[in-house]
Each structure stands twice: as C-alpha cells, then as structure tokens.
C-alpha cells in the first residue's frame, strides 16, 4: 500500500513537517520492529526529488483543475475523519462513512 502526501507552504515549514514525520516513523519502527515501513520523501518514490506537479501531462490550466479536484477529496476525507463519531448517528451525517466514500468515487 502506498500513501502519498503533498504539503503546500514555505520550504522551511514543509521540511520541518518532513522531519517530524521522519521522527515519528523512526519511533514506530523502534517500538514495533515487526511493522515494516518503507518511506521516501520525494517525487513518486524517487527519493529527494521535488514533486513539480503534472502540468506537463495535464496542461497548465487542466492541472490547476486536477489539483482542486484532488484537494476536494482530501478535504472531504479529513472532514469525515474529524466527525467520525457523528457518522450514521446524527442529522448532519446520517449515513456511515462507506456511503460518503462511495458517493465521492461514484461522482468521479
């Protein structure tokens, strides 16, 4: 399984976030050696290379739309995680998380 994260911001802040992630992963690997974690900070598995986006494939304006679409999915996931105790139990979130994930994928 692969998890890809992209951070926007000043280089020094993004570097600081990367260092915090590195420290947490090192602690997890030390405390739970049975957990195998392979990680790389870079472009699609190419360590230490900057991710420059995909405008060369999408086109400059289309890539801006792609970024907005991807960010929307991420923001939706974070909102659902933040409100997970309400999912399927409240008027604000009447359905379980699988419903919302399915709707997002269906609309895509």
Radius of gyration of the chain (CA): 17
Structural domains of the chain, count: 2
Residues 72 and 108 in one domain: yes
Q: What pLDDT is recorded for position 35?
A: 76
Ramachandran angles phi, psi of 46, nearest 5°: -95, 100
Residues 46 and 93 in one domain: no
What is the residue range of 98's domain?
54-108
Q: What pLDDT is recorded for position 69?
A: 87
Q: Is 45 strand, coil or helix?
A: coil
Residues 37 and 75 in one domain: no
Under a CB-based contact definition with an 8 Å cutoff, are residues 34 and 43 in contact?
no
For the chain, 108 residues long, give each residue's pLDDT as a single digit of tens.
677 788 888 989 988 998 999 899 888 888 888 877 777 888 777 888 888 888 889 999 999 999 898 888 889 889 999 999 999 999 999 999 899 888 887 776
- DSSP letters, 56-79, are HHH-HHHHHHHHHHHHHHHHHHHH
Q: Is 29 strand, coil or helix?
A: helix
Q: What is the pTM of this model?
A: 0.61
Q: What pLDDT is recorded for position 1?
A: 66
| Non-local CB neighbours of 95 within 8 Å, separated by 6+ positions | 87, 88
């Amino acid at each position: 399984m692969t998890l890809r994260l992209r951070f926007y911001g000043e280089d020094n802040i993004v570097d600081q976030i990367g260092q915090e992630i590195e420290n947490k992963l090192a602690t997890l690997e030390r405390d739970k050696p049975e957990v195998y974690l392979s990680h790389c900070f870079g472009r699609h598995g190419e360590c230490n290379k900057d991710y420059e986006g995909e405008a060369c494939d999408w086109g400059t304006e289309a890539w801006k739309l792609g970024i907005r679409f991807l960010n929307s999915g991420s923001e939706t996931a974070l909102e659902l995680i933040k409100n997970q105790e309400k999912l399927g139990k409240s008027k604000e979130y009447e359905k379980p998380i699988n419903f919302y994930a399915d709707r997002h994928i269906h609309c895509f």
